[in-house]
Amino acid sequence: MAVQDTMGAESARASVFYDPKVRGIFFQILLIALLVFFGYQIVTNTIANLERQNIASGFQFLNTTAGFSIIQSLIEYSEESSYGTGLIVGFLNTLLIAFIGIILATVLGFIIGIARLSPNWVISRIAYVYIEIIRNIPLLLQIFFWYFAVLRAVPNPRNSVELPGDIFLNNRGIFAPKPIFESGSGLAGIALLVAIAAIFFIRHWAHKRQEATGQQFPILWTAIGLLIGLPLIALIVTGFPIGVDYPELKGFNFVGGLKVTPEFMALLLALAIYTAAFIAEIVRAGILAVSHGQTEASHALGLRQGPTLRLVIIPQAMRVIIPPLTSQYLNLTKNSSLAVAIAYPDLVSVGGTILNQTGQAIEIIGIWMVVYLSLSLLTSAFMNWYNQRMALVER
């Protein structure tokens, strides 16, 4: 008790000013006061400025007719559609480029990352040079290169480059045959779903059987057989109800078929190639992070090279790879906003057009920020969930 008393006397003699608690509260109040002051300034200034420029704030403009066309749209859109529909079109285009870009970048990135570790000198050097060149050149420059120097420089529709499989490449885009599903092809789709469900079931059963008896079941070949076989049988039964719409040169341009715009191709190529360089480095780091002892122990247990890689190395490497990989996916999604530079109609590009037409800067930028922020937060939530699932369970 005595000790406590003297200590109490000591702290009483020291000033309140030097009490860390008081100091902390003081600085936090100061911070809040500053933030409130700035917030107040911004709000009052903005209201005054908007009034002066005669801009009505609010989201009513979303229902107004847009009056501009969009070169690529996943949903029904015309010049008579509203601004709101235009923004949705843009958002869907962002998702489309991000989705396909992520798949391509992952495939390319894993190939290059593994090539970088190859004992083959030529292959690993090529991967190294690829990574060092692509990573150190700005993405925007690469997008411009693909768009202006490559895809815009190919011949006009009359002199298109013809690729095998009735695919035509010209400066209006890439034109490919488009399958048309006629009535009756629904059965094939159902067959595909059944095949997928069956594969899951067989996989589960094979695991159980292996745990019980030690016997292995060729899951991979069964899966491939089911995936191809079932829809094929369904198609044969219904008599191939799939037509093909071939692109045809009419006048100055191609009509029909599946059209991929040069804007989409340029952005996709640039994003996939650029992000793949970063993914390759992540994959390399992940594989190197699994210590060599794991490989040796696995060999000592009698596992061959293939199962060692599949059952020992990759599951452990994935633990290191997944978090930075997710952030690369997010980067790719955010980088797809550079579409505005080559006028691929993504969210930012369409929003920019609307912003110029209506002057609703705060609303448009607010929509951008909310959309991208929610994408980020959703991705990081997913990442945390996945991380927890994959994390090392220690005993």
Closest contact distance (angstroms) between CB of 117 and another protein is 13
CB under 8 A: which stretch of 60-68, 188-196, 297-305, 355-363 binds another protein?
A: 355-363
What is the C-alpha separation between 36 and 208, in angstroms, rounded?
62
Site mask for another protein (CB under 8 A), range 302-341, x = bound: --------------------------------xx-xx-xx
Nearer to another protein, 237 or 369 (CB): 369
Indicate the residue among 222 and 376 with the shorter CB distance to another protein.
376
**Site size toward another protein, by CB under 8 A:** 57
Task: Kindly identify the residues of this chain, within the stretch 38-97, that bind another protein according to CB under 8 A.
Answer: 41-42, 45-46, 48-50, 52
Q: What is the dihedral of CA 157, 158, 163, 166, to 10 degrees?
A: 90
Contact status: 11 vs another protein (CB under 8 A)? no
Cα(276)–Cα(282) distance, rounded to whole angstroms?
10
213 binds another protein (CB under 8 A): no
CB 79, min distance to another protein, A: 24
Contact between 381 and another protein by CB under 8 A: the answer reads no
Q: How far apart are CA 174 and CA 264, in angstroms?
A: 10
- End-to-end CA, the chain: 44
Produce one character per residue of 330-347: b if its CB has 16 or more CB atoms within 10 Å, e if not.
bebbebbbbbbebebbbb
Longest dimension (CA), the chain: 102
| DSSP for 18-79, written as a single string | G-HHHHHHHHHHHHHHHHHHHHHHHHHHHHHHHHHTT---SSGGGGSB-----S--SS---T
Q: Which residues of 110-133 are buried (b: 16+ CB within 10 A; e: fewer)?
A: bebbbbbeeeeeeebeebeebbee
How open is the CA angle 328-333-338, to the nearest 5 degrees? 115
Cα dihedral 66/97/74/163 (nearest 10) = 120
Please state the closest distance from residue 17 (CB atom) to another protein, in A.
Answer: 4
- Strand, coil or helix: what is 156? coil
Task: Give whichever of 78 and 356 is closer to another protein, judged by the CB atom.
Answer: 356
- Asked whether position 377 contacts another protein by CB under 8 A, the answer is yes
Residues in 18-37 that interact with another protein by CB under 8 A? 18, 24, 27-28, 31-32, 35
Q: Among residues 268, 325, 348, 383, which is the contact residue for another protein, using CB under 8 A?
A: 348
Query: Per the structure block, which two tokens stand in for 157?
Result: 């529709």
User: Shortest distance, CB of residue 30 to another protein, whole angstroms?
Assistant: 10
φ/ψ of 31, rounded to 5, equals -60, -45
Q: Does 145 bind another protein (CB under 8 A)?
A: yes
d(CA 175, CA 207): 45
216 near another protein, judged by CB under 8 A? no
Q: Read off the tokens for 327.
A: 């952030």
Q: 103-122: which residues touch another protein (CB under 8 A)?
A: 118-122
Figure out which of the listed residues 107, 255, 369, 381 binds another protein, where binding follows CB under 8 A.
Answer: 369
Kindly state whether residue 378 participates in binding another protein, applying the rule CB under 8 A: no
Give yes or no for a contact between 116 and 131, defined as CB atoms under 8 angstroms apart: yes
CB-nearer residue toward another protein: 234 or 338: 338
Residue 149 engages another protein in binding (rule: CB under 8 A): yes
CB of 394 to another protein, least distance (A): 20
Would you count residue 128 as binding another protein (CB under 8 A)? no
Residues in region 180-209 near another protein by CB under 8 A: none
Distance of CA 323 to the CA centre of its chain: 14
Find the binder of another protein among 96, 126, 167, 313 (CB under 8 A): 126
Q: For residue 307, what are its two tokens?
A: 């199962």
Give the shortest CB-243-to-another protein separation in angstroms.
38
User: Considering the complex, what minimum distance in angstroms separates the CB of residue 337 from another protein?
Assistant: 4
Q: Which residues bind another protein (CB under 8 A)?
A: 15, 17-18, 24, 27-28, 31-32, 35, 41-42, 45-46, 48-50, 52, 118-123, 125-126, 132-133, 135-141, 144-145, 148-149, 153, 334-335, 337-338, 340-341, 348, 352, 355, 361-362, 365, 368-369, 372-373, 376-377
